[in-house]
C-alpha cells in the first residue's frame, strides 16, 4: 500500500520514547504532521528532528501535533529525544508494520524513507511529502499546513 492524498490514514499505534502507547486516533480533531525518518542520531535525522522541535510552537499555534516514526527502539528514541530535548512523541516501528503499511519503506528494506504526511482533523491525508530533503523541509510543511487550513482542504 502507498499513502495517497485524500485517503483516510489507517490506524497507527505504537510505543513512544517513554514506552507509552500512542494511537493517532486519539488525536482526531487536530491536524497531525506525521514524519518518517531513517534512523535516530544520524546527521540528517537529527537536523530534521531539531527543526521540527524548534518550530513546535508554530505547529501548535495552527492546532497541529507532530509525531515522528522510525524503526528504532523506544530506548533509542528516548536517548535521541533526551539528547536533543525533543518535545514531541517518536513512535517505534521495529517490525516496520506502519512503515510498510504506508508505503514508506526505504529501498534497502531496513527502515523508513524520509517522508511527511499532513493529516486533517478527520484523519484524511491532505498532503504527502515524499523523498524529503531535510534542509528547509519544516518551513515547507508549515507553509503547506497554512495553505491547507486557509483553503479548507
Q: Name the residues annotated as catalytic.
A: 45
Give the residue ranges of DSSP H helices in the chain: 43-54, 56-61, 74-84, 97-101, 137-151
Q: Which of 43, 40, 6, 41 is nearest to 119 (CA)?
A: 6
**CB within 8 Å of 48: residues ≥ 6 apart:** 35, 37, 114, 132, 134, 137, 138
Rounded to an integer, what distance in angstroms lies between the CA atom of residue 145 and that of residue 120? 9
Q: Grid coordinates standing for 123?
A: 484523519
**Sign of the torsion formed by the C-alpha atoms of 57, 63, 66 and 108:** negative
Amino acid at each position: 500500500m502507498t499513502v495517497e492524498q485524500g485517503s483516510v490514514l489507517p490506524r497507527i499505534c505504537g510505543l513512544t520514547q517513554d514506552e507509552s502507547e500512542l494511537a493517532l486516533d486519539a488525536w482526531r480533531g487536530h491536524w497531525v504532521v506525521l514524519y518518517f525518518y531513517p534512523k535516530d542520531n544520524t546527521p540528517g535525522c537529527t537536523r530534521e528532528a531539531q527543526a521540527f522541535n524548534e518550530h513546535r510552537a508554530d505547529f501548535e499555534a495552527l492546532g497541529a501535533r507532530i509525531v515522528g516514526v522510525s524503526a528504532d527502539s523506544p530506548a533509542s528514541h528516548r536517548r535521541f529525544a533526551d539528547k536533543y530535548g525533543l518535545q514531541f512523541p517518536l513512535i517505534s516501528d521495529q517490525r516496520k508494520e506502519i512503515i510498510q503499511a504506508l508505503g514508506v519503506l526505504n529501498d534497502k528494506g531496513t527502515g523508513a524513507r524520509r517522508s511527511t504526511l499532513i493529516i486533517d482533523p478527520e484523519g484524511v491525508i491532505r498532503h504527502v511529502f515524499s523523498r524529503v530533503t531535510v534542509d528547509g523541509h519544516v518551513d515547507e510543511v508549515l507553509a503547506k499546513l497554512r495553505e491547507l487550513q486557509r483553503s479548507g482542504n
